[in-house]
Structure 1
Amino acid sequence: MAGRYRLQAKLGGGGMGAVWLAHDKLLDRDVAIKRVASTAGMSPEKAAEVRNRTIREGRIAASLSHHHAIAMYDVAVESGEPWLVMEYLSSRSLAQALNIMDTLPPFEVAQIGAQVADALADAHAAGIVHRDIKPGNILIADRGRHVGTVKISDFGISLAKGDHDERSDVITGTPAYFAPEVARGADPTSASDVFSLGATLYTAVEGQPPFGFNEDSATFLQRVATGEIIPPQLSGPIADALLHMLEPDPARRPTMAQARDELVTITVGKGGNAGYILGAPIRSADGTVPDWAQRNVSFTARRPNRPQTPPSSSRTSHPPMTPRPRPEPPRPPAKPPVASTPKKAAAQSKSQTAPLLIAMVLLVAVIAGIAAAVVLIF
Structure 2
Amino acid sequence: MPPSPGAHHTPGPQYLVAGRYRLKSRIGGGGMGTVWLARDQLLDRDVAVKQVVSTEGLTEDTADNIRRRAMREGRIAAKLSHRNAIAMHDVALDRGEPWLVMEYLPSRSVAQILHATTTLTPTEAAQIGAQVADAMVEAHAAGIVHRDIKPGNILIAEGGRNAGLVKITDFGISRAKDDVSLTQTGVITGTPAYFAPEVARGAEPSEASDVYSLGATIYTMVEGQPPFGVDDNSIALLHKVARARINPMKNAGELEPVLLRLLEPSPTKRPTMAEARDMLASVAAGTRGTREQVLTGLITRPGAGTPVWAQRSGNRSSTTGGHRPVGAATLLPDSPAGDADRASRDIPQTREAHAPTLMSTPQPYSVRQPYPAPQYSTPRPPAYPDQSQGWVRQARDTATSSTALAVSIFVFFAVLAVLVVLLIALWR
2:252 counterpart (215, 235, 239): 235
Which whole-Å deviations, capped at 9, do the CAs of 1:54-82 have from their partners, x for residues lacking one? Answer: 01110100010000000000000100000
What's 2:162 paired with? 146
1:255 counterpart (262, 272, 283): 272
What's 2:424 paired with? none
User: Does the CA contact (< 8 Å) of 2:116 and 2:332 recur in 1?
Assistant: no
What's 2:147 paired with? 131
Question: Are residues 1:268 and 2:285 paired?
Answer: yes
What's 2:226 paired with? 209
What's 2:70 paired with? 54
User: Does the CA contact (< 8 Å) of 1:74 and 1:84 recur in 2?
Assistant: yes
1:223 counterpart (230, 240, 248): 240
1:93 counterpart (105, 109, 119): 109
- CA 301–244 in structure 1, closer or farther in 2 if over 3 Å, else same: farther
Paired with 1:115 and 1:12, the residues of 2 have a C-alpha distance of 24
User: What's the TM-score once normalised by structure 2's chain length?
Assistant: 0.69
User: What's the TM-score once normalised by structure 1's chain length?
Assistant: 0.78
What's 1:366 paired with? none
User: Does the CA contact (< 8 Å) of 2:48 and 2:103 recur in 1?
Assistant: yes
What's 1:169 paired with? 186
Which whole-Å deviations, capped at 9, do the CAs of 1:298-345 have from their partners, x for residues lacking one? Answer: 35689xxxxxxxxxxxxxxxxxxxxxxxxxxxxxxxxxxxxxxxxxxx
Question: Are residues 1:4 and 2:20 paired?
Answer: yes
Paired with 1:265 and 1:178, the residues of 2 have a C-alpha distance of 25
Letter in 1 for 2:62: K
| Superposition deviation, residue 166 in structure 1 | 2.8
Question: Are residues 1:186 and 2:203 paired?
Answer: yes
Question: Are residues 1:159 and 2:175 paired?
Answer: yes
Secondary structure of the corresponding residue to residue 26 of structure 1: coil
User: Does the CA contact (< 8 Å) of 1:202 and 1:210 recur in 2?
Assistant: yes
C-alpha RMSD of the superposition:
1.6
Question: Are residues 1:298 and 2:343 paired?
Answer: no
Corresponding pairs, count: 302
| Superposition deviation, residue 168 in structure 1 | 3.2
Identify which of structures 1 and 2 has the higher relative contact order when contacts are C-alpha pairs closer than 8 Å and 6+ apart.
2
**Which has the greater radius of gyration?**
1
Which whole-Å deviations, capped at 9, do the CAs of 1:17-68 have from their partners, x for residues lacking one? Answer: 1111111011010000111111111111111111111011101000100000
Secondary structure of the corresponding residue to residue 221 of structure 2: helix
Question: Are residues 1:30 and 2:50 paired?
Answer: no
Secondary structure of the corresponding residue to residue 46 of structure 1: helix
Paired with 1:199 and 1:114, the residues of 2 have a C-alpha distance of 14
Letter in 2 for 1:68: N
Secondary structure of the corresponding residue to residue 82 of structure 1: strand
Secondary structure of the corresponding residue to residue 18 of structure 2: coil
User: Does the CA contact (< 8 Å) of 1:265 and 1:271 recur in 2?
Assistant: no
What's 1:71 paired with? 87
Letter in 2 for 1:122: E
Paired with 1:64 and 1:123, the residues of 2 have a C-alpha distance of 6
| Superposition deviation, residue 83 in structure 1 | 0.4
| Superposition deviation, residue 273 in structure 1 | 2.2
Paired with 1:8 and 1:136, the residues of 2 have a C-alpha distance of 23
User: Does the CA contact (< 8 Å) of 1:68 and 1:279 recur in 2?
Assistant: no
User: Does the CA contact (< 8 Å) of 2:222 and 2:251 recur in 1?
Assistant: yes
Secondary structure of the corresponding residue to residue 277 of structure 1: helix
Paired with 2:277 and 2:288, the residues of 1 have a C-alpha distance of 14
Letter in 2 for 1:151: K
| Superposition deviation, residue 203 in structure 1 | 0.4
| Superposition deviation, residue 271 in structure 1 | 10
Q: State the 4+ residue runs in structure 1 displaced beyond 6 angstroms.
A: none
| Superposition deviation, residue 268 in structure 1 | 1.6
What's 2:305 paired with? 288
- CA 265–19 in structure 1, closer or farther in 2 if over 3 Å, else same: same
User: Does the CA contact (< 8 Å) of 2:156 and 2:163 recur in 1?
Assistant: yes
Paired with 1:193 and 1:18, the residues of 2 have a C-alpha distance of 26
User: Does the CA contact (< 8 Å) of 1:94 and 1:139 recur in 2?
Assistant: yes
Secondary structure of the corresponding residue to residue 188 of structure 2: coil
Paired with 2:332 and 2:240, the residues of 1 have a C-alpha distance of 38
- Structure 1 unaligned blocks of 5 or more: 303-378
| Superposition deviation, residue 170 in structure 1 | 1.1
Paired with 1:78 and 1:130, the residues of 2 have a C-alpha distance of 27
| Superposition deviation, residue 270 in structure 1 | 7.2
Secondary structure of the corresponding residue to residue 100 of structure 2: strand
Letter in 2 for 1:30: D
What's 1:244 paired with? 261
Paired with 1:93 and 1:269, the residues of 2 have a C-alpha distance of 25
What's 2:7 paired with? none
- CA 17–299 in structure 1, closer or farther in 2 if over 3 Å, else same: closer
Secondary structure of the corresponding residue to residue 300 of structure 2: coil
User: Does the CA contact (< 8 Å) of 1:5 and 1:23 recur in 2?
Assistant: yes
Paired with 2:170 and 2:331, the residues of 1 have a C-alpha distance of 30
Paired with 1:301 and 1:252, the residues of 2 have a C-alpha distance of 42
Percent identical pairs in the alignment equals 60
Paired with 2:334 and 2:294, the residues of 1 have a C-alpha distance of 25
Paired with 1:289 and 1:298, the residues of 2 have a C-alpha distance of 13
User: Does the CA contact (< 8 Å) of 1:118 and 1:257 recur in 2?
Assistant: yes
Paired with 1:125 and 1:152, the residues of 2 have a C-alpha distance of 16
